[in-house]
């Protein structure tokens, strides 16, 4: 059995174990035996809607756990695609400005009070923001075909959206409750996630993951250089357009239901590449699996900690030192 397959099996088991562990934590005074029994009844289709324990497990805890796993897979998968597109293991989905574009439009909607119309509004606005940013990036990719230009444009867009979001927060300075609501969303949150949120995220993230896996061979060719890729029948411009679309679907879908979460898309693909190599056929699916398990662990940690912390802060607090440690470890192993 290959090492990549062992990682895939181990990662899948880790996701399942962490998902069950996360289901044990949540609202309501329910012990572990009751939760496991409710999970078993639900899996065999015998759960009862009028049973309080079944309702808490399957209407409150289960959708949150699934949303967390889906978002983790999306961000890590998007990071792997971004690093392959720019041929740089230090690249992150945020460099394309897609998550910040989604966040800006969602924050404007919250500022205007549009979120009061229903739980669907903020995810929809975030998706629209990601789509608009994608349109600009695709236009640039079609015109220039240069990855450096695309990277710089993404950084400029991200800076613009970040400044505009800060401006909205400044305008909401005298509206305390609104400012708290916006900040909570910007720091990432899985509170109150329902089956409706899962339905909103599944289509774009599923399509993005499928497109990312389909790009594995082309990204491997692109890593050899544009000229070599062209000689292999791979169009760098076409790969750029499809890769940016995949990242937009993944990051936009994740941001729509979870807010802004940092470092996951940077650290997880880097760790998987460090352990298994840079072949995207293994890197892309394994990054998604490790990303799902990592975010499940982070979300569970935030719920059992004595002080409630937004998951976005925890991913940054853990991700930044971990990434620095990886860089120092790799540098110390290089021959002098």
pLDDT at 28: 67
Cα–Cα distances (Å) from 305 to 12, 164, 302, in that order, read: 25, 33, 5
Q: For residue 279, with 0-12 CB atoms within 10 Å meaning exposed, 13-18 middle and 19 or more buried, which class applies? A: middle
The overall average pLDDT reported for the chain is 85
Residue where the block lists tokens 């305008």? 171
- pLDDT band, residue 331 (cuts 50/70/90): low
Question: Regarding the domain with residue range 3-333, which homologous superfamily does it belong to in the CATH classification?
Answer: ABC transporter involved in vitamin B12 uptake, BtuC (1.10.3470.10)
pLDDT digits 0-9 by tens, 206-249: 999 999 999 999 999 988 888 888 888 888 888 888 998 898 88
| Lookup: tokens for 238 | 């076409």
Instruction: Give the global pTM.
Output: 0.89
pLDDT at 210: 95
pLDDT digits 0-9 by tens, 8-46: 888 889 999 999 999 988 766 788 888 888 888 888 777
| Lookup: tokens for 209 | 């993951």
Please name which of 312, 253, 247 lies closest in space to residue 83, comparing C-alpha atoms.
Answer: 247
CB contact at 8 A, 137 and 85: no
Instruction: Say if residue 105's pLDDT is above 70.
Output: yes
Q: For residue 174, with 0-12 CB atoms within 10 Å meaning exposed, 13-18 middle and 19 or more buried, which class applies? A: exposed
Instruction: Say if residue 172's pLDDT is above 60.
Output: yes
pLDDT at 173: 67
Please name which of 78, 121, 129 lies closest in space to residue 103, comparing C-alpha atoms.
Answer: 129
CB contact at 8 A, 142 and 241: yes
Sequence-distant (≥ 6) Cβ neighbours of residue 89 within 8 angstroms: 83, 269, 270, 273
The domain segmentation of the chain, as residue ranges, is 3-333
206's enclosing H/E stretch is: helix 195-214
Instruction: Say if residue 335's pLDDT is above 70.
Output: no
User: Which SS3 state, helix, strand or coil, does residue 27 take?
Assistant: coil
């Amino acid at each position: 059995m290959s090492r990549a397959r062992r990682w895939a099996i181990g990662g899948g088991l880790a996701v399942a174990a962490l998902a069950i562990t996360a289901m044990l934590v949540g609202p309501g005074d329910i012990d572990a035996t009751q939760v496991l029994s409710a999970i078993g009844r639900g899996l065999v289709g015998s759960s009862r809607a009028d049973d309080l324990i079944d309702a808490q497990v399957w209407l409150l805890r289960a959708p949150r756990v699934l949303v967390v796993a889906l978002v983790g897979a999306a961000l890590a998968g998007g990071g792997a695609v971004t690093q392959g597109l720019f041929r740089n293991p230090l690249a992150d989905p945020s460099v394309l400005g897609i998550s910040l574009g989604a966040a800006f439009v969602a924050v404007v909607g919250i500022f205007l009070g549009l979120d009061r119309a229903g739980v669907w509004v903020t995810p929809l606005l975030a998706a629209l923001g990601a789509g608009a940013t994608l349109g600009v990036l695709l236009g640039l990719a079609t015109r220039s075909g240069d990855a450096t230009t695309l990277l710089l444009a993404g950084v400029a867009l991200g800076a613009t959206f970040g400044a505009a979001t800060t401006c909205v927060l400044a305008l909401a300075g005298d509206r305390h409750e609104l400012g708290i609501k916006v900040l909570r969303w910007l720091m990432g949150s899985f509170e109150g996630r329902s089956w409706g949120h899962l339905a909103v995220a599944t289509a774009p993230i599923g399509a993005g993951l499928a497109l990312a896996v389909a790009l594995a061979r082309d990204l491997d060719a692109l890593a050899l250089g544009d000229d070599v890729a062209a000689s292999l029948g791979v169009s760098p411009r076409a790969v750029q357009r499809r890769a940016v679309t995949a990242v937009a679907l993944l990051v936009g879908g994740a941001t729509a239901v979870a807010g802004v979460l940092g470092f996951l898309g940077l650290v997880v693909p880097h760790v998987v590449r460090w352990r298994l190599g840079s072949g995207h056929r293994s890197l892309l699916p394994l990054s998604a699996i490790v990303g799902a398990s990592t975010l499940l662990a982070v979300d569970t940690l935030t719920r059992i900690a004595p002080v409630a912390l937004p998951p976005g802060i925890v991913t940054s607090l853990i991700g930044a030192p971990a990434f620095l440690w990886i860089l120092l470890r790799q540098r110390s192993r290089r021959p002098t």
